[in-house]
Structure 1
C-alpha cells in the first residue's frame, strides 16, 4: 500500500488555496482565520467549550457568593453535565476526523 506525501495530505485537510483565493473545499473557512477546515473545526469546538466553561464559572461564583439555593445547584450540575457531553463530542469528532485523515494519508 502506497502512502501520500505531506503536501497531498495537506490538500486533503484544506491547506491548499484555490484559484478564487478561498481556502478549503467549500469556500472560506470559518471560526477565525484558520488555514484549514480541520483547524476551523478545532477552533469552533474550543470556543464553544470556552463559552460553556465561562457559564459554569459564573454559576459557581454566584453559589460561592451565597446564592446556594437548590435550584442554583441543579442548574450548575446541569451545566457541568452539558460541558462533559460537549467535551466528549469534541474529542470524538476530533478523533474520527483524525482517523479519516490518517486513512486518506495511507491511500494512493
Structure 2
C-alpha cells in the first residue's frame, strides 16, 4: 500500500509559500493555482490506487483482505476529497477577505 500523498506532493505543497509575484508575472501561475494542482495530483494518485485495487478484486481477488483494502482506499479518497474542498474553500475565503481590505 502506497501513501497517495507522497514526498513529491508534499514538496509541491511546501513550495507554495515561496512562489512570489515574479512567477505570476512570468506566466507560471500563482500559488493558489499550484495549491489546487497539487491537490488534484494527490487525488489522481489516490484514484489510481482505487483502480488498481478494484482490478485485483475484479480478477478474482475476493479475499476479505482484498475487499477491505479496496474499502480502505475508497474511504481515503473520500477523506482526501473532503480535505481538499475544505482547504481550497478556506484559502479562497481568506483571499476574498484580503481583497476586501485592500
TM over 0.5: yes
Partner of 2:77: 83
Aligned positions of 1:1-108 closer than 5 A: 16-17=21-22, 23=23, 34-108=28-102
Unaligned runs of at least 5 residues, structure 2: 1-18
- Relative to total residues, which structure has the larger helix share, 1 or 2? 2
Aligned length: 82
TM-score by length of 2: 0.74
Q: Which has the larger radius of gyration?
A: 1
**RMSD between aligned residues:** 1.8
Q: Using CA pairs below 8 Å that are at least 6 residues apart, which structure has the higher relative contact order?
A: 1
TM-score by length of 1: 0.70
Paired with 1:54 and 1:85, the residues of 2 have a C-alpha distance of 16
Unaligned runs of at least 5 residues, structure 1: 1-13, 18-22, 25-32
CA 1:56–1:78: 2 relative to 1, 3 Å: same
Give structure 1 regions of 4+ aligned residues with deviation exceeding 4 angstroms. Answer: none
